[in-house]
Amino acid sequence: YLTTIRQDLAHLEANQEPTGDRPMDGFRRIVASGIGYCYTPGDWAVRDLDLELASGEVVGIVGPSGGGKSTLVQLLSRLRRPDEGTILVDGVPYGDIDPRAWTSQVAVVPQEPDLMEASVIENIVFWRQGISRDRVDAAARAARVYDDIAQLPNGFDTKLGPGGQGLSGGQKQRVAMARALAGNPSLLVLDEPTSALDIDTEALVRDTIRSLRGRVTVVVVAHRPSTLEVCDRIVTIESGRVVADRRNDGGA
């Protein structure tokens, strides 16, 4: 037990929330060099991985289950910090960036939308200051969920049950996307659900990604071939490493 506690404490220490004070307002390039991460010491989920993201690119991450895709996107979004290697944002180590600036610039849409028991608008605003009603509407439109919300009994003020009860799975996914977009992020990280979404939602999410291209950098863990159609680049991760990184010239 003591060994486990010591390992857990060391891990916690290595993964403290960063407390930098550097500003961030968009970026040109994010460069991950030689990054590695272990959940248990000596067992590398991601190892010696290099990846560069240019502003406005849509990058699809593919690869076998257990290959390290989720770990990689959690590292890129600073939800976990690498045990090895560096991630630089225009030359600045990302741990040096003010956490408030970082969270306002980087949005994550998880596989399972984590909606709360609250109104739709509260779910989109999510306690952030300065998100106006206009911004909420624009985000809901961008996430292709505005009309669905408008048709609810009380529109944006409709109360949802625990976990977003009252919406379909696809609507929850799009509300989670609206929450992410309401903050005007410069990096959007999307872990595509493995569970089937309705065909309409799949197409709508693709539309959203397509419309962000060139303005927002999107990293999407893609479980569907159709998602790859909208990617500028497709990166394959296997055994914690990049094994292929190709341009998707057919992307549109």
Please tell me whether residue 60 binds ligand ADP under the rule CB under 6 A. Answer: no
> Which of these, 80, 66, 77, lies nearest to 189 by C-alpha position?
77
Stretch that binds ligand ADP, among 16-24, 61-69, 87-95, 205-213 (CB under 6 A): 61-69
Please tell me whether residue 106 binds ligand ADP under the rule CB under 6 A. Answer: no
* Tally of CA atoms within 13 A in the half-sphere of 233 that contains its CB: 19
**What are the φ and ψ backbone dihedral angles of 38, each rounded to 5 degrees?**
-120, 135
Interacting residue with ligand ADP among 70, 105, 123, 208 (CB under 6 A): 70
- List, in sequence order, every beta strand (DSSP E) within the chain: 29-40, 43-54, 58-62, 84-89, 92-93, 106-109, 187-191, 217-221, 233-238, 241-247
Nearer to ligand ADP, 69 or 172 (CB): 69
Nearer to ligand ADP, 39 or 132 (CB): 39
DSSP string, 97-118: B-HHHHHHHEEEE-SS----SS
Q: In the bound complex, what is the minimum distance in angstroms from residue 66's beta carbon to ligand ADP?
A: 4
Residues in 152-181 that interact with ligand ADP by CB under 6 A? none
Interacting residue with ligand ADP among 24, 49, 62, 63 (CB under 6 A): 63
Partners of 188 in the beta sheet?
Answer: 107, 218
Please tell me whether residue 39 binds ligand ADP under the rule CB under 6 A. Answer: yes
Stretch that binds ligand ADP, among 65-73, 125-133, 140-148, 225-233 (CB under 6 A): 65-73
Kindly list the residues in this chain that would bind ligand ADP in the complex (CB under 6 A): 39, 45, 63, 65-71
